[in-house]
């Protein structure tokens, strides 16, 4: 991340233009339903800025300049997030933008960057829609959502015994819908039979009906594209209902220490992916 910040700042700045620190602004989810994941972005941005400044800042021409950071809490409200990006540019006068978490937020907020012609670097949205609009001022660090389960499905085909049936569950936001669309194609190419393909409401808390269907269909593998709180509830309820497929894989949550701390031993057996 800090290499990307360095690149963007160096690309668009000249030593004549800036005498003050180069300021990046972001609106992220520090409270509200998706704060569990949103706050990781605040931590990452602060970590990157700390490391860059400790190394002398960024070099613009022959001048080294520090980076400053302005972060606002959008309270997991996409409309507030859009207003805050307007504020960051119009009132706080930041030089560049860093993105929020979640594709639906990035889709909305990147329109402000595009309209203002201010680059936004984001690592929180992977929906294919983000880059299908021809925007010139949005830069991303994640793989496309449509290939999120690509490595998982490839690994499944190499297992012995190989899973034969799959349940695909996904939330109804833009990122997870993109994940599901790409995953269907990947499963078909891999010769895996999809026995459940079900969309659920974002922030759902009761998965008992879906879990009963998974148990009834005896799905070998379960792929879930959702948000961390949803996935925590899903796993807890799966354990209580004794739903135990051969493989679980989730788009978010699994790599984090908070995920393992929240579930304890119930986290065992869960798999996921992370961008590298």
Give the end of a domain, one of 112, 142, 172. 142
Same domain, 260 and 150: yes
Q: What angle do CA 179, 113, 252 make, to 5 degrees?
A: 25
Mean pLDDT of 209-216: 96
Instruction: Of 224, 233, 214, give the one whose Cα is nearest residue 252.
Output: 224
Residue scoring higher pLDDT (139 or 33): 139
Based on the fold, state whether residues 63 and 162 are members of the same structural domain: no
Same domain? 171 vs 268 = yes
Mean pLDDT of 108-129: 95
**Whether the predicted pLDDT of 75 surpasses 90:** yes
pLDDT(21) > 50: yes
Query: What would the mean pLDDT of 194-213 be, rounded to a whole number?
Result: 95
Whether residues 16 and 110 fall in one domain: yes
**Count of CB atoms situated within 10 Å of the CB of 20:** 10
69 CB-near residues (< 8 Å, 6+ apart): 23, 24, 25, 26, 45, 46, 49
pLDDT at position 245 over 50: yes
Q: Is the pTM of this model over 0.95?
A: no
Q: What does the mean pLDDT of the chain come to? A: 91
pLDDT surpasses 90 at 46: yes
Where in 191-262 does DSSP place strands (E)?
Answer: 193-200, 221-225, 247-250
- Number of neighbours of residue 157 by Cβ within 10 angstroms: 12
d(CA 268, CA 260) in angstroms, rounded, equals 8
Task: Please give the C-alpha separations between residue 127 and each of 16, 142, 215, in angstroms, as whole numbers.
Answer: 38, 9, 30
Q: Among candidates 109, 108, 110, 11, which has minimal Cα distance to 58?
A: 11
Residues 6+ apart with CB under 8 A from 20: none
Do 239 and 259 have their domain in common? yes
In angstroms, the CA 126 to CA 115 distance is 21
My answer on whether 87 and 197 are in the same domain is no
With a cut of 70, say whether residue 10 has pLDDT above it: no
**Same domain flag for 71 and 163:** no
* Domain's final residue, options 111, 142, 173: 142
Adjacent-strand bridge partners of 24: 69, 96
- Considering the domain architecture, whether residues 241 and 152 belong to the same structural domain is answered as yes
- Residue 89's nearest CA partner among 98, 78, 77 is 98
CATH of the domain at 59: 3.40.50.2300
Give the pLDDT score at 18: 45
Query: Please, which pLDDT band fits residue 6 given cuts at 50, 70 and 90?
Result: low
pLDDT at 256 over 90: no
Query: Do 6 and 91 fall into the same domain?
Result: yes
| pLDDT at residue 255, rounded to an integer | 85
Does 233 or 7 have the greater pLDDT score?
233
Contact (Cβ atoms closer than 8 angstroms) between residue 97 and residue 85: yes
Q: How many domains does the chain have?
A: 2
Q: Which of 121, 142, 163 is a domain's end point?
A: 142
Residues 161 and 261 in one domain: yes
CB 35 within 8 A of CB 89: no
Strand bridging mode 247-250 / 221-225:
parallel
Position 17 confidence tier, pLDDT thresholds 50, 70, 90: very low
- Residue 196: its pLDDT value, please? 98
Round to whole Å and give the CA distance between 215 and 222.
11
CB-based contact 38:30 (threshold 8 Å): yes
Phi-psi region of 211 (alpha: psi -120 to 50; beta: other; left: phi over 0): alpha
Per the structure, the complete domain to which residue 42 belongs is given by 2-142
b vs e for 93-103, b when ≥16 Cβ sit within 10 Å of the residue's Cβ? ebbbbbbbbbb
What 3-state class would DSSP assign to 270?
strand
Average pLDDT over residues 2-15: 52
């Amino acid at each position: 991340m800090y290499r990307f910040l360095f690149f963007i700042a160096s690309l668009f700045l000249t030593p004549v233009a800036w005498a003050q620190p180069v300021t990046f602004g972001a609106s992220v989810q520090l409270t509200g339903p998706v704060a569990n994941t949103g706050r990781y972005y605040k931590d990452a941005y602060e970590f990157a800025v700390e490391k860059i400044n400790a190394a002398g800042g960024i070099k613009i021409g022959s001048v080294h300049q520090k980076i400053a950071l302005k972060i606002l809490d959008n309270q997991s409200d996409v409309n507030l997030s859009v207003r805050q990006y307007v504020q960051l540019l119009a009132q706080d006068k930041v030089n560049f933008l860093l993105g929020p978490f979640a594709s639906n937020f990035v889709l909305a907020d990147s329109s402000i960057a595009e309209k203002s012609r201010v680059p936004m670097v984001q690592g929180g949205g992977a929906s294919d829609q983000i880059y299908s609009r021809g925007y010139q001022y949005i830069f991303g660090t994640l793989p496309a959502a449509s290939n999120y389960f690509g490595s998982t499905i490839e690994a499944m085909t190499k297992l012995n015994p190989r899973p034969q049936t799959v349940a695909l569950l996904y939330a109804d936001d833009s990122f997870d819908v993109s994940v599901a669309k790409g995953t269907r194609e990947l499963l078909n190419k891999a010769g895996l039979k999809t026995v459940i393909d079900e969309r659920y409401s974002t922030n759902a808390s009761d998965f008992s009906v879906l879990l009963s269907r998974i148990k009834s269909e005896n799905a070998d593998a379960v792929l879930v594209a959702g948000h961390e709180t949803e996935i925590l509830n899903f796993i807890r309820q799966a354990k209580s209902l004794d739903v135990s497929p051969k493989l679980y894989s989730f788009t978010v949550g699994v790599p984090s220490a908070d995920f393992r701390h929240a579930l304890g031993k119930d986290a065992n057996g869960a798999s996921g992916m992370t961008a590298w």
